[in-house]
């Protein structure tokens, strides 16, 4: 549910309202009941994870060294596969006659 910020122009108080996107704006101040309320534009709150289990250590590998070793192994395997599938012309002696 989106969070909207409001400011009363009479008493200068700011307040927050949780509203659905289909609801209209709040027309009166919750503090002084004045009709001079203005909706403020905010940058948003960003991404919020709810529930258990979102920790900094989730999905991390044992150490940086093992990550580096795995990455190097992947690169070697891809290079070997590419070399076996597509031999280069440097490996053969071609005699071109012009």
Give the tens place of pLDDT for each residue, 40-87. Answer: 987 766 666 666 665 665 555 556 667 778 888 888 887 776 666 555
Residue 22 lies in a domain: yes
**Residue 93: pLDDT band with limits 50, 70, 90:** low
Beta bridge partners of 6: 15, 39
Residue 36 lies in a domain: yes
State the total domains in the chain: 1
DSSP string, 29-94: -TTT--S-EEEEP---------SS---TTTT--S-HHHHHHHHHHHHHHHHHHHHHHS--GGGS--
Instruction: Decide if pLDDT at 6 tops 90.
Output: yes
Please give the angle made by the CA atoms of 35, 37 and 43, to the nearest 5 degrees.
165
Task: Determine the pLDDT at residue 3.
Answer: 84
Residue 20 lies in a domain: yes
Residue 64 lies in a domain: no
| Phi, psi dihedrals of residue 81, rounded to the nearest 5° | -65, -45
Higher pLDDT, 30 or 59: 30
pTM here is 0.44
Residue 10 lies in a domain: yes
Range of the domain at 21: 3-40
Residue 32 lies in a domain: yes
């Amino acid at each position: 549910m989106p969070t909207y910020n409001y400011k009363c122009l009479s008493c200068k108080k700011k307040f927050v309202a949780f509203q659905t996107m289909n609801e209209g704006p709040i027309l009166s101040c919750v503090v002084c009941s004045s009709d001079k309320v203005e909706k403020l534009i905010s940058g948003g709150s960003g991404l919020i994870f709810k529930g258990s289990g979102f920790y900094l250590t989730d999905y991390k590998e044992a150490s940086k060294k093992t990550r580096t070793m795995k990455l190097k192994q992947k690169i070697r395997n891809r290079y070997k596969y590419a070399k076996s599938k597509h031999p280069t012309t440097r490996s053969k002696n071609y005699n071109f006659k012009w």
